[in-house]
Chains A and B, each alone.
Chain A
């Protein structure tokens, strides 16, 4: 009952927004509809464009490219973050030496790297993957580093007393702890992989959702921009839902205070 009511209210918000949007673009309430349509398009046009894309099949190709870029960025960035994070956490000397550079690199707005990557790697998918990697890497890196550092000293001492050697400690203590931190940042890192892909496409490419939006913008096709945005949003929502599922599965051992009330 409560759930249904909540869902109803949530849908109501969308309906209100779309109705206002429609009123803006179809009536004189907020100004000349013609001008308004130029800036905001209309919900019906945007819906029509999305349907046209889905049926015509164009959107699947671009979506596929974007998802491929995001997936590659996520995998490469995560693997790199895990390996380097472990290395830094277990070798304080290495960490101390590289610390200012890591901080500097992380402070740099990654978008400015996009032109460099386009120059180095061309306009194909790899320049977008590289941009995504620079975003994902640091999130995973910091979380894995923290995960290894924050292993409870008593769990560690206990594991040692249970006879674990260094390799077994890595497998049974450090790795699960690091991965739990990494998984808890899964939403952020997956999101940033998408951001890297789309921003990269937007700045220069020949395919992908970012490309679609950029092309539409180039000819003042606001309908196309909005349609691209909605497809992107829907796609991110689906991914986020999947990540939640994966997270619940992988972190089943974590105390979840919310679970009691469900």
Chain B
């Protein structure tokens, strides 16, 4: 009831499909269930992200945010609708994009340095140059001295830093992030957010950042997109965040503009969160 009033006009805040780095049009995603039926995760969804825009996607857990990201990355094929990357329809994997996953996805048998360098090596950069540049990137994420560590010797936050360097060293035009800081503690998340914004501001790319944490979304993003609870999740709100950059993430929560945005978006999100919660506990 309440959320209907606050759905904002999407065409006004988003770019048009032609100029967008990522443009999803009518994307519907279904999964085949083992019993022969199908589960519709995401209902016809339109979303466009500009080439230098940081968009956060927020929604209750299990609402299909990651699914939407995977469709944009080419990791799964939508049942209908189109995904266009810089105006070109996407077929196969999205080669212009980097993806920072929620789960640990470093290769455990490679050192931090090897993990960062591998993206360049498989693209044909010579071993030495790849290593030099990987060392440089490890420095940028504050792990200059940890190059010879294996992932299990690093803390969760350090592994995320390596993952960030691994993605960014390839200089992708689009960056997908699926609750990248989800498993980290609150302080580390702030520090990682700061690091991410610092690196992103220096060289702006299109970012699609999935999170369930509204505060994180508002403090990082140019736009916050709200998804409804699944199944058949869809976008129910699209809010530009007018807080100027550079932002200080640890201080931003006291900014009145942050509080206003938070109040407005939370109002829309709350219903969905409760709905999602009821559904996931449906039988009980």
Where the two chains meet, the residues of A that have a C-beta atom closer than 8 Å to any C-beta of B are 152, 154-155, 157-165, 168, 172-173, 176-177, 180, 252-255
> Do A163 and B103 touch (CB < 8 A)?
no
A152 to B108, CA, bound (A): 10
> Do B99 and A157 touch (CB < 8 A)?
yes
A255 to B149, CA, bound (A): 12
A255 to B108, CA, bound (A): 9
Closest A residue to B101 by beta carbon equals A154
Q: Tell me the count of chain B residues lying within 8 A, CB to CB, of chain A.
A: 29
Chain A residues, CB < 8 A from B170: 162-163
Chain A residues, CB < 8 A from B107: 155, 159, 172-173, 176
If A154-B105, A158-B101 are given as contacts, then 20 extra A-B residue pairs at C-beta distance below 8 Å, sorted by A number, are A152-B103, A154-B101, A154-B104, A155-B104, A155-B108, A157-B75, A158-B163, A158-B166, A160-B75, A161-B75, A161-B99, A162-B118, A162-B122, A162-B166, A162-B170, A163-B123, A172-B110, A172-B118, A253-B108, A253-B111
Closest B residue to A180 by beta carbon equals B109
Q: Which of B14-73 contact A (CB under 8 A)?
A: 73
Q: List 24 A-B contacts (CB under 8 A).
A: A152-B103, A154-B102, A154-B103, A154-B104, A155-B104, A155-B106, A155-B107, A157-B75, A157-B99, A157-B105, A158-B99, A158-B106, A161-B73, A162-B118, A162-B170, A163-B122, A163-B123, A163-B170, A172-B107, A172-B110, A173-B107, A253-B108, A253-B151, A254-B108
Closest A residue to B166 by beta carbon equals A162
Closest A residue to B151 by beta carbon equals A253
Q: Quick check: is B97 within 8 A (CB to CB) of the other chain?
A: yes
A254 to B110, CA, bound (A): 10
A164 to B4, CA, bound (A): 45
Q: Quick check: is B95 within 8 A (CB to CB) of the other chain?
A: yes
User: What is the minimal beta-carbon distance from B269 to any residue of chain A, in angstroms?
Assistant: 27
A253 to B110, CA, bound (A): 7
Q: Quick check: is B259 within 8 A (CB to CB) of the other chain?
A: no
A152: which of B105, B118, B163, B166 is its contact (CB, 8 Å)? B105
A254 to B166, CA, bound (A): 20
Pairs of residues from A and B, 7 with the lowest C-beta to C-beta distance, nearest first: A158-B105, A255-B152, A154-B103, A154-B105, A253-B150, A161-B99, A176-B109
User: What is the minimal beta-carbon distance from B156 to any residue of chain A, in angstroms?
Assistant: 13
User: What is the minimal beta-carbon distance from B167 to any residue of chain A, in angstroms?
Assistant: 8
A161 to B176, CA, bound (A): 10
- Interface flags for B70-83 (1: CB within 8 Å of A; 0: not) read 00010100000000
Chain B residues, CB < 8 A from A158: 99, 101, 105-106, 163, 166
> Do A253 and B109 touch (CB < 8 A)?
yes
Chain A residues, CB < 8 A from B105: 152, 154-155, 157-158
A159 to B121, CA, bound (A): 12
Chain A residues, CB < 8 A from B102: 154
A163 to B108, CA, bound (A): 18
Closest A residue to B169 by beta carbon equals A162
> Do A161 and B122 touch (CB < 8 A)?
no
Chain B residues, CB < 8 A from A180: 109
Q: Quick check: is B230 within 8 A (CB to CB) of the other chain?
A: no
Q: Which of B201-215 contact A (CB under 8 A)?
A: none
Known: A155-B105, A180-B109. A162 touches B150 (CB 8 A): no
Chain A residues, CB < 8 A from B151: 253
A177 to B108, CA, bound (A): 9
Chain B residues, CB < 8 A from A160: 75, 93
A158 to B107, CA, bound (A): 9
User: What is the minimal beta-carbon distance from A155 to any residue of chain B, in angstroms?
Assistant: 5
Chain A residues, CB < 8 A from B122: 162-165, 168, 172
A168 to B105, CA, bound (A): 16
> Do B152 and A161 touch (CB < 8 A)?
no
Interface centre among B94, B104, B108, by most chain A C-beta atoms within 10 angstroms, is: B108
User: What is the minimal beta-carbon distance from B18 to any residue of chain A, in angstroms?
Assistant: 25
User: What is the minimal beta-carbon distance from A178 to any residue of chain B, in angstroms?
Assistant: 11
A62 to B177, CA, bound (A): 62
Known: A173-B107, A254-B152. A163 touches B119 (CB 8 A): yes
A180 to B110, CA, bound (A): 12
Interface centre among B101, B106, B109, by most chain A C-beta atoms within 10 angstroms, is: B109
> Do A162 and B103 touch (CB < 8 A)?
no
A155 to B106, CA, bound (A): 6
Chain A residues, CB < 8 A from B95: 163
Chain A residues, CB < 8 A from B75: 157, 160-161
A253 to B230, CA, bound (A): 40
User: What is the minimal beta-carbon distance from A261 to any residue of chain B, in angstroms?
Assistant: 16
Known: A154-B104, A252-B150. A162 touches B119 (CB 8 A): yes
Closest B residue to A252 by beta carbon equals B150
User: What is the minimal beta-carbon distance from A160 to any residue of chain B, in angstroms?
Assistant: 6
Q: Quick check: is B98 within 8 A (CB to CB) of the other chain?
A: yes
A157: which of B97, B101, B108, B166 is its contact (CB, 8 Å)? B101
Closest A residue to B99 by beta carbon equals A161
A252 to B152, CA, bound (A): 10
